[in-house]
Amino acid sequence: MDSMIPEILYIICSYLEIEDVRRFRLCCRAFADAAACFVHREVIFYLHETDLEMLRCISLHPIASKNVRSLVYIGHTLGPDKQSIEAFCQDYELIRMADKVAAEQSNEPLPPRLSDHQLLEFYKRYEHAFEQEQKVVGNNEDISCIKEVVSRFTALQELVMSNGFWFRKGLTKTPFEGIIARPGSHLMPEGCRQLDSVLNAVFESNIKLKKLTAGELSWQFFQRPPAELKRTMPFYSDLTCLQLCIDVGMIESNAGPGTLWDITTGTEVPQCRQLLKTGLLRDFIKSLTQLQTLYVVFNWHSEEHGYAASLEDIMEPKHTWEHLESLTLGNITCERQDLMSMLKRHKNTLEDLCLRDVRLRSTSWQVLLPKIRKTMNLYDACICGEVRGQRESPPHEEEFWNLEMPDEFEEPLRDDVNDYLVKDASITRCPLNRYNGEF
């Protein structure tokens, strides 16, 4: 086996699924070297001491380090405050209830309940993990480790910072297994420390990324001197894909045991809106001349304060991205004329369009959708979430349809709208009308 030509082993690996590549590399040293070119092309890690050490080991491997194409940073932590044993046990009861529902749905037996002694052992593991995390963050060990290892990932092209429920890739195994407590978005402002640590390392290593994905990412990430952003713009010049889910704040409160959580969303909409009015984000996106995919979604709007951004805060009016193929915008406001003007400028390249939770300030979706269908040649379309507008003829009533999210609920009306936009011959009239709206 050791005498086989490396190029042949490399070709064999190129046809294997990643799990098979991992098994393939266990055969012998020659197989391991060939598989090293593939097995770590995507590296997923948490802010956890064992994952940071794993990163360091991969970066020191002479073959694997030169073949890392994508870094996926899951930004979840156990902090900021350590749970008491009582709270830990209450969380276990909630997890137990969820396991019971899952077992009933899958018709499988419910795992046996943990004894008090077993729970105490799990709590000790949780305490140790929490203390180690506090040490890593307090001593900036995460930042120094990432800076060290990224300099060795010379083939790096894609960076994903996943926080909350955004841009996760169906991961099941984490370094937090065995402690019951579930990590979450605890480092504030959300996602900023994690993304900053990796981007600074990439910048200092003079690595030009092709794809950048981040979310949930607090709007405060962009709250920095314009000169600093302008200085780093050339660093992003090769980006073909930018995906951002921008967090605009949420407050959770609870009156005590047995009561429902009260959630107020969009609490920082005014501050975010004021920042975006400066054109800071718009100018950055405009500078990305190679963009093929643009995804900018704000995670909430506010019942009290409205929306954090307008279309013109994100996309420069009259500007054209020559290669734009896919566009997703969420929780923004605009007028149909401005949206259509932007779409027309990209009708020769744009194939995929998603508009989620979009409000037309004083114009109508019933006018907009037929114009999109007539003008564009979309391969895929998705109008989803809360769709708001205003009729353009008297009595100028408000429009509202809740089309829900595709990954959460089935909604026949949403499906009809999206089929209509891709010119399904069986749907010739705009599916949205005054009779199926909720106002």
Whether residue 352 lies inside any domain: the answer is yes
Whether residue 439 lies inside any domain: the answer is no
Average pLDDT over residues 200-209: 93
34 & 59 share domain: no
Domains identified in the chain, total number:
2
Lowest mean pLDDT among 111-115, 123-127, 313-317: 111-115
366 & 260 share domain: yes
More confident residue, 106 or 192: 192
Side chain identity at 179, as an amino acid letter?
I
pTM here?
0.90
pLDDT in tens, 233-265: 888 999 999 999 999 999 877 655 555 667 889
Share of the chain above pLDDT 90, in %: 66
Contacts of 203 (CB under 8 A, 6+ apart): 232, 235
DSSP 77: B
Asked whether the beta carbons of 307 and 254 are under 8 A apart, the reply is no
What pLDDT score does 234 carry? Answer: 81
Reduced 3-state DSSP string for 323-368: CCCEEEEECEEECHHHHHHHHHHCCCCCCEEEEECCEECCCCHHHH
pLDDT in tens, 384-437: 999 999 999 998 999 999 999 998 889 999 999 999 999 999 999 999 998 888
Question: What is the domain-level CATH number for residue 209?
Answer: 3.80.10
290 & 406 share domain: yes
